[in-house]
Structure 1
Amino acid sequence: MQSPTLPRSLLGALRRVMRPLVRLMLRKGVTYTVFADLLKEVFVDVADREFRLDDKVSSDSRISLLTGVHRKDVRRLRNESETSIATLPANITLSAQLVNAWTNSRPFCTDAGQALPLPRLASVGGKCSFDALMAKVSTDIRARVVLDEWLRLGVVRLDEQDRVHLEAQAFVPQKGFDEKAAYLGHNLHDHASAAVHNLSGEGLPFFERSVHYDALAAVSVDTLREAVAKEGMQTLLNFSRLAADLENLDSPGIEQRQRITIGLYFYTEPTDPVSSMTPAP
């Protein structure tokens, strides 16, 4: 039985947030037992990292009191390998840097920030080639290796003139479960972190807004989907160019750097006929 001091509104929100995650887990064979063990690790790790008193390492007993996890499990989990906060894999980070250069740096894009089709080889396109784009970001990995991976993921395509076209104006793999799963963790973590920060009422709130309607016809939904895909992507590209310009202007120093995430999403599902009924006058 839940403690009566726990906010019912919070528990209801958590239940709703968990539904799509549980849906994904059931589809992929992640059972409750597996998830419970994973959740136990997260509870211990967050309590250990973020809920210390006077910045002192907490005892197993205190973490057990905070989390409700048995002290034996707390000790075992803390003695096992150090849990690290997941970051995007190196291949995705490199790819994101390449897309950013492709859409923001001349001569690889237009003034409007649209990625140009690039000749694959420097021997053909010179400084405006996929080889040159790769060399701008990294000299440690061959351009052909990245190109083959991007072709596999559906990020780019090759035309009959051996030119490379960017299929998505941000690095969003069309294939590749591992890459998609990495973005699931990154994007949901940062969106949830912003929402949790705003709920705490501490410090300046993060911008976190949405538009929602519940009585649209399917054709109207399709119109909105296309508008978000086009105008939303352009908005994100504008923010990306601004961030790139500011990063280039930031002077090096001892000040700690910060990362940002800016997101925009679209979702639709059938409206619950019960909740959408209009009361009779």
Structure 2
Amino acid sequence: MRPLARVLLSHGMAYGTFAELAKRAFVDEGFLLVERDGKRATVSAVSALTGLTRKDVSRIRESEALLDGGASQRYNRAIRVISGWINDPAFNDASGEPAALPLEGGDWSFAALVRRYSGDIPAAAMLSTLQASENVEVRAGNAVLVERAYIPKATPLEKINILGKDVGELVHTIGHNLEVLPEQRFFQRKVSNASIAAATATEFRALSTRKSQALLEEYNAWLTQHQSESDETVGEPLRYVAVGIYYIELPEQEQ
């Protein structure tokens, strides 16, 4: 919990705000768990399960979500645009790399890329988003992709909301693996070493960044080629899948 507390405190989040978010998470999951067990999901049932008062459960259930879902939507659309730019031959150059695209005009332009991969968001708004995140530069009237990994340059709260999703997905994987049979577990591995000199750690960080980025781009290309264009495939609902990679480096006293 201390790394989480460190991040929240460094971004100005007091305990009261965190406690309210934690209550909301308990209430939302409480209703889902009660329903999953085939029981009637009442305020009283969730109160008994979570330890929160019925008054708190009712208030949280009836109130609007505290965090802005628009930040996640902007994040997802930006990711789709960059992915399409990298993987769609229609927007690649002769060597198969993301092409420098005219801002407007025809089917081969940044505006066409945005229309294909981000729905109804204006091309100018997407360009502004990708410039702010330092993914795109405009050179001689063309949009140029200069950084493939998208990390939003947004408010601290938006960053916590977006990047914090990765923490939630890792915890979900851990929870899943604790509950299912060995053959049903999701892949969860890491490699570590507590006897690495600082200079060597810097070298390894560069190596892992390069290889991890290449692996994620390979996965992304495969997923793009196999994604469904409809809400269902052969009568089955679609699934969300993800593979995440993280790097951590700590001084000896913090291990």
TM-score category (smaller protein): 0.7 to 0.9
1:96 and 1:170 map into 2 onto residues whose CA distance is 9
Q: Indicate the larger mover: 43-52 or 162-171.
A: 162-171
| Other structure's SS at 2:237 match | coil
Which residue of the partner structure matches residue 66 of structure 1?
49
Which one-letter code corresponds to 2:14 in the other structure? T
For the pair shown, the structure with the greater C-alpha radius of gyration is 1
Match of 1:144 among 113, 124, 135: 124
Matched-pair contact (CA < 8 Å) for 2:43–2:57: yes
Superposed, 1:45-124 pairs within 5 Å as 45-52=28-35, 54-81=37-64, 89-109=72-92, 114-122=97-105
Which residue of the partner structure matches residue 188 of structure 1?
167
Which residue of the partner structure matches residue 278 of structure 1?
none
Match of 1:164 among 143, 159, 174: 143
Which one-letter code corresponds to 2:162 in the other structure? Y
Per-residue Cα deviation, 1:102-157 (whole angstroms, up to 9, x for no partner): 011013236886423323333xxx54432332232256333222112221222211
Per-residue Cα deviation, 1:165-214 (whole angstroms, up to 9, x for no partner): 223213223x2235533322321111110111112235711111111111
Match of 2:9 among 9, 17, 26: 26
| Other structure's SS at 1:268 match | coil
> What TM-score do you get using the length of structure 2 for normalisation?
0.85
2:135 and 2:99 map into 1 onto residues whose CA distance is 14
Is 1:130 aligned to residue 110 of structure 2?
yes
Match of 1:200 among 179, 203, 206: 179
Which residue of the partner structure matches residue 154 of structure 2?
176
1:139 and 1:35 map into 2 onto residues whose CA distance is 34
1:158 and 1:176 map into 2 onto residues whose CA distance is 20
Which one-letter code corresponds to 2:60 in the other structure? L
Aligned residues: 252
Change (3 A) 1:110 1:172: farther
Which residue of the partner structure matches residue 245 of structure 2?
264
Match of 1:216 among 186, 196, 220: 196
CA-based RMSD of the aligned residues comes to: 2.9
Matched-pair contact (CA < 8 Å) for 1:48–1:57: no
Gaps of 5+ in 2: none
Which one-letter code corresponds to 1:193 in the other structure? H
Matched-pair contact (CA < 8 Å) for 1:98–1:137: yes
| Other structure's SS at 2:143 match | strand
Change (3 A) 1:217 1:242: same
2:22 and 2:4 map into 1 onto residues whose CA distance is 13
| Other structure's SS at 2:144 match | strand
1:114 and 1:212 map into 2 onto residues whose CA distance is 34
